[in-house]
């Protein structure tokens, strides 16, 4: 023996990210956006403003989503269905279109500088993907705005034909596309929807605390709970 240590073995061959609350801090990005949308849709009607906020689980006094809001981990369509239930004269298609257009201009706030972070992961030989319950077009628009769309080998929304989280379908679609066994993929997310989907897919599961869920809620479903995605490189090698 020459006294040198063997090279570290990577835990995974690919990393699959949720978008909102993971690549982008949920509160910093979406609470300010939601407040503006509620004001716009209510048109100065205080009663309607309160009903809209109640429908989507938004705390007007605190200026942020309630941690139990169904919007946090729900699909774009589910959020639209909640809104159309309190908006007189709007169709579901109109609400979906409105939200898609408004969401395209959300003030995206990443928890770490994303370009060097993703370049580092790619330099380690990892394939990268995004699976979100947003629309695929909305996800691509956000990733493009952040200058990171080209860093991902796979991008899927709830409408991409693979299903939506917490079902494992879109995660397994990524594993197939990447050519890796699910056990060699890490799913990274900020909600139990993400983590349950990862477990169901047979993947390794990482939770981050840049969403609305607390560590104690996420820990039972995760292999590790990290402050944010910037801590992933240290987790990758034993």
- Per residue of the chain (238 residues), give pLDDT as tens: 445 544 545 699 999 999 999 999 999 999 989 999 999 999 999 999 999 999 999 999 999 999 889 998 889 999 999 999 999 999 999 999 999 999 988 999 999 999 999 999 999 999 999 999 999 999 999 999 999 999 999 999 999 999 999 999 999 999 999 999 999 999 999 999 999 999 999 999 999 999 999 999 999 999 999 999 999 999 998 6
pLDDT for 1 equals 41
Q: CATH 3.40.50.1000: which residues of the chain? A: 14-25+110-236
pLDDT for 193 equals 95
Q: Which CATH superfamily is domain 14-25+110-236 in?
A: HAD superfamily/HAD-like (3.40.50.1000)
What pTM does this model have? 0.88
Q: Which residues pair with 154 in a beta bridge?
A: 129
Burial class (CB in 10 A: 0-12, 13-18, 19+), 61: exposed
Residue 71's contacts (CB-CB under 8 Å, 6 or more residues apart) are 34, 56, 57, 58, 65, 78, 79, 82
């Amino acid at each position: 023996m020459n006294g040198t240590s063997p090279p570290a073995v990577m835990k995974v061959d690919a990393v699959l990210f949720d978008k909102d609350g993971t690549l982008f801090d949920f509160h910093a990005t979406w609470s300010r956006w939601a407040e503006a949308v509620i004001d716009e849709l209510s048109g100065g009607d205080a009663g309607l403003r309160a009903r809209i906020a109640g429908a989507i689980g938004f705390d007007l006094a605190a200026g942020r989503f309630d941690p139990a809001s169904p919007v946090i981990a729900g699909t774009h369509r589910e959020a639209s269905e909640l809104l159309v239930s309190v908006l007189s004269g709007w169709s579901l298609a109109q609400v979906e279109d409105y939200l898609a257009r408004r969401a395209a201009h959300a003030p995206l706030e990443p928890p770490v500088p994303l370009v060097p972070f993703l370049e580092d992961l790619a330099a380690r030989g990892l394939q990268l993907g995004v699976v979100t319950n947003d629309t695929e077009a909305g996800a691509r628009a956000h990733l493009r705005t952040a200058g990171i769309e080209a860093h991902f080998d796979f991008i899927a929304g709830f409408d991409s034909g693979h299903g939506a989280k917490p079902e494992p379908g879109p995660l397994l679609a990524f594993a197939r596309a990447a050519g890796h066994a699910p056990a060699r993929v890490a799913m990274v997310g900020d909600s139990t929807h993400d983590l349950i989907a990862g477990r169901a897919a047979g993947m390794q599961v990482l939770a981050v605390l840049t969403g609305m869920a607390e560590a104690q809620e996420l820990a039972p479903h995760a292999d590790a709970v990290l402050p944010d995605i910037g801590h992933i490189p240290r987790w990758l090698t034993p």
